Amino acid sequence: MGGTACTLKASVLRLAGKGRAQVQCSFAEVPIDARPKGRWVYVADTEEIPMTFQVGIVGIDGVLLASDRKYSDLMGQTWEASKMGKSHAGIAYCSSGDSCAARVAREYAESFSAGESPALDGEHLDLEPDGLSEARNIIESKLGEVRKKKMDEWAEEIPNFYCKGDLLIAQKNNGKVQLWHADVITPLCRCDYPQLIDDKRWIGDKWNTAAFVLERYLPMGKLRPIQELKLIAAHAVLMAGKLNPSGVYGLEMMLCPDSGDFEVVNAAEIRELNRKSELLDRDIGKRLLSESPEQYLK
């Protein structure tokens, strides 16, 4: 805006079907002769470029969460930051979409006290349909409490705002970590029916064909230790970045074992997973494009 400082307030207005947004600026404190001629600017809608690729995988001994780290704003600026979190109550999460989803996830994780379980007492919920239903109801209720509590606060920050996002939640229930998926939709800020995931789920850029890695090499009904899932999860996220570099970049990961504390994979191991994924990508390309592929099939 010609270098003139202005306050971005009065909201972001989404124009349905137009693929763009308008940002209204207040120039009340700017001298008339210093104001730009227009009070409206065109900026690309954040949904024009699908952002984020996140993976949740159920293992035989827990759950693995993996995510990219790329953020962007309405002005097209990008940066790297974590999209994951965990609480002392044995809950970990990652979120995609606008900041509303991240806030809901964080508030939800912190709404449980240490050791509190959303499930009924008894055996593993997979074997107890009534218990599973109760757990779903409690999770949905907690998410609803969070959004109701925070909705007015967020609406004051961004009036007439609209956003949509997804949550992946790893949560201990009766000694077993379960993977849940929920949608977060505003302005109603509704949290759609939470789903218990029994194998894998990816969110964010849902149409990214890097999901092939998970669909092809993680067959249903064959759970593996979460330590063995790190490379395939990393490769899926990193390939999503190569297929959509404008919306997906970077890597972070969290291991959520049934026994023990949830653990963020350290930077050194993330670098090693990046290296292995790059070698794997090159090797696959070399083999597929070889004039004599039979040499690799011995």
Residue range 253-274, pLDDT digits in tens: 999 999 989 999 999 999 999 9
Instruction: Write the pLDDT tens digit of every residue in 278-291.
Output: 999 999 998 888 77
* 232: CB partners within 8 A, 6+ apart: 57, 213, 214, 217, 218
Same structural domain, 65 and 38: no
More confident residue, 117 or 98: 98
Q: Where are the alpha helices (DSSP H) in the chain?
A: 99-110, 129-157, 211-217, 230-243, 267-288
Same structural domain, 125 and 69: yes
Residue 154, in any domain of the structure: yes
Domain count, the chain: 2
Residue 295, in any domain of the structure: no
**Residue-range definition of the domain harbouring residue 28:** 7-47
Same structural domain, 242 and 210: yes
Q: d(Cα 72, Cα 161) in Å, to the nearest integer?
A: 17
Residue 165, in any domain of the structure: yes
Q: d(Cα 74, Cα 22) in Å, to the nearest integer?
A: 10
Same structural domain, 208 and 257: yes
Same structural domain, 40 and 165: no
Same structural domain, 173 and 270: yes
Same structural domain, 124 and 164: yes
Same structural domain, 148 and 212: yes
Residue 2, in any domain of the structure: no
Banded model confidence at residue 296, pLDDT cuts 50, 70, 90: low
Residue 298, in any domain of the structure: no
Q: What angle do CA 221, 233, 124 make, to 5 degrees?
A: 40
Q: d(Cα 62, Cα 60) in Å, to the nearest integer?
A: 6
Instruction: Write the pLDDT tens digit of every residue in 119-172.
Output: 433 333 343 444 456 666 777 777 767 666 666 666 566 555 556 788 999 998
Query: Exposure of 18 by Cβ count < 10 A (0-12 exposed, 13-18 middle, 19+ buried)?
Result: exposed
Report if pTM > 0.85: no
Can you give 147-199 as a three-state secondary structure string? HHHHHHHHHHHCCCCCCEEEEEEEEEECCEEEEEEEEEECCCCEECCCEEECC
More confident residue, 165 or 66: 66
Residue 293, in any domain of the structure: no
Same structural domain, 150 and 43: no
- Alpha-carbon Rg for the chain in angstroms: 22
